Amino acid sequence: MILSLYKGLTRLAGLGAPLLLARRTKAGKEDPKRRHERLGKPTMPRPAGHLIWLHAASIGESVSILPLVERLLAEHRHSHIMVTTGTVSAATIMDDRLPERAFHQYSPLDTPGAVRGFLAHWRPDIALFVEQELWPNLITQTHASAIPMVLVNGRLSEGSARNWVRAPKSFRKATFGAFDHILAQDDLIADRFRSLTDQSVTCAGNLKYAARPLDVNDDDLNALQGAIGDRPVWVAASLHPGEEAHIVAVHKALKLSLSNLLTIIVPRHADKAGLFASACRNDHLVTRLRSQSGLKGLDRADVLIGDTMGEMGLYYRLAPVIFMGGSLIPHGGQNPLEPARLNRAILHGPHIDNFTDPFCQLEQAGGAIQITDGTDLAAKLYALLNDEAVCNHMGDKAAEIAAAQDNSLDHIMDVLSPYVAQSMIAGGAKS
């Protein structure tokens, strides 16, 4: 009943979808040239032959699958890969970074008509869904089209698992039972999936642990390093609303002893840059936005707001110490392995549920330190910024932990390869 009701409601919602997309386009949340893709009307032809479809939610998930895309293309030289995402920012990065024989499309809205048009055009031979992007129409119609489906890098929080347990068994079966195999990020998550479905579940590791070091434009890096000079600098990375007051207070406290301190704030979402800039300026901190001022006035700035897309590798390389955001509020933290791969000392707050294992491993190895609040963060930062040897030692230990995670891609490919191979045989039979 729930699934039927959902399909009925989304069928009605589909009537207003063009108007919704038009409004989102005006707000900068949809690509005006490609918004028809969201209605299941693709803007390019299907490539001939075997097509692997990877569906990711947004920037974090789409970037994490790049090593998987390259591995699949290397092992299946006659295949193409289509990556779908739902955000403009993720599309921009995918269009720039996807290799030959791989391309990006926007995922269809989860209305029956949009999904039907999408599947009819692309006819993927296998579908790999990433993490927890579980849209009912997309999943059930893909399954009904006899397309093999694997959930890759599966993530399921304790709260989500409780909600699914309360859902009708038929709804759980229609959702999780559609997957031929579920690859969970860790043993705890695997057990949560097993409590919801009889389908095959394997703990294969986390794709985000197998990523390459983030890219950087060397010219931009050299220019910013030259502008910063020998100033003490730290990065507050992937910050969420609610953390700005802590970071402003930390900067003001440290500036009493480090008068030429530069704080680099990188919001998790670039559209929140104004919020962080306002918080800094309201406390009389000289603030510059990377997207607007470039290097102009940086020598006099207290704070640089990193509000550009795809430059996290640049920001991480500018400072020896990185504070990982989303951890001073109950959000769950952000991926600490990205700065760890660049030999950076890492600080984080108490809320790390999204990345408990890597944070704990980094702490145990001496590559990361947990802080309790803004006052503690200021104290730990001051100590690290005044002790280069300790800072470098932490960075080296962090890099060792990050390197040890690289085998997760091998585990994932071990499970995926038979399904991909079988889909190639079935695809040949259908053609």
The domain limits of the chain are 2-206+407-426, 218-404
Secondary structure letter of residue 302 according to DSSP: S
- What is the pLDDT at residue 85? 93
The fraction of the chain above a pLDDT of 90, given in percent, is: 73
- What is the pLDDT at residue 55? 95
Q: Between 172 and 244, name the one with better pLDDT.
A: 244
Mean predicted lDDT score pLDDT of the chain: 92
pLDDT (tens digit per residue) in 386-410? 999 999 999 999 999 998 877 788 9
- 428: confidence class by pLDDT, cuts 50, 70, 90: low
Contact 340, 367 (CB under 8 A): yes
User: Of residues 30, 61, 131, 243, which has the active-site annotation?
Assistant: 61
- What is the pLDDT at residue 430? 55
Q: Does domain 2-206+407-426 fall into CATH 3.40.50.11720? A: yes
- Same-fold call for 2-206+407-426 versus 218-404: yes
Nearest alpha-carbon partner for 157 in 34, 291, 331, 31: 331
Nearest alpha-carbon partner for 146 in 170, 165, 119, 168: 119
Contact 122, 82 (CB under 8 A): yes
Amino acid identity at 62: S
Question: CA 400 to CA 367: how far, in whole Å?
Answer: 9
Residue 13 token pair: 């919602």
pLDDT (tens digit per residue) in 121-149? 999 999 999 977 788 899 999 999 999 99
- 1: confidence class by pLDDT, cuts 50, 70, 90: low
- What is the pLDDT at residue 262? 98
Contact 391, 18 (CB under 8 A): no
- 429: confidence class by pLDDT, cuts 50, 70, 90: low
- What is the pLDDT at residue 36? 93
* Residue 236 CB-half CA count within 13 A: 31
Q: Between 271 and 237, name the one with better pLDDT.
A: 237
> Quick check: is 61 catalytic?
yes
- What is the pLDDT at residue 11? 87
- What is the pLDDT at residue 134? 81
List b or e across 401-428, with b for residues whose CB sees 16 or more CB atoms inside 10 angstroms. Answer: bbeebeebbebbeebbeebbeebbebbe
Secondary structure letter of residue 41 according to DSSP: -
Q: Does domain 218-404 fall into CATH 1.10.10.60? A: no
Helices (H), 103-204: 112-122, 136-144, 158-166, 169-176, 187-194
- What is the pLDDT at residue 431? 45
Q: Strand, coil or helix: what is 151?
A: strand
Contact 326, 334 (CB under 8 A): yes
pLDDT (tens digit per residue) in 237-263? 999 999 999 999 999 999 999 999 999
pLDDT at residue 186 above 90? no
List Cβ neighbours of 367 (8 Å cut-off, separation of 6 or more).
340, 345, 346, 394, 395, 396, 397, 398, 399, 400, 401
Rounded to two decimals, the pTM is: 0.74
Q: Between 62 and 202, name the one with better pLDDT.
A: 202
pLDDT (tens digit per residue) in 354-386? 888 899 999 999 999 999 999 999 999 999 999
At residue 187, φ and ψ (nearest 5 deg) are: -65, -40
C-beta atoms surrounding 194 within 10 Å? 14
pLDDT at residue 411 above 70? yes
Which residues on neighbouring strands pair with residue 80, listed in sequence order?
51
- Residue ranges with strand state E in 157-293: 181-184, 200-203, 233-239, 262-267, 287-289
pLDDT (tens digit per residue) in 49-94? 999 999 998 787 888 899 999 999 999 999 999 999 998 989 998 9
pLDDT at residue 171 above 60? yes
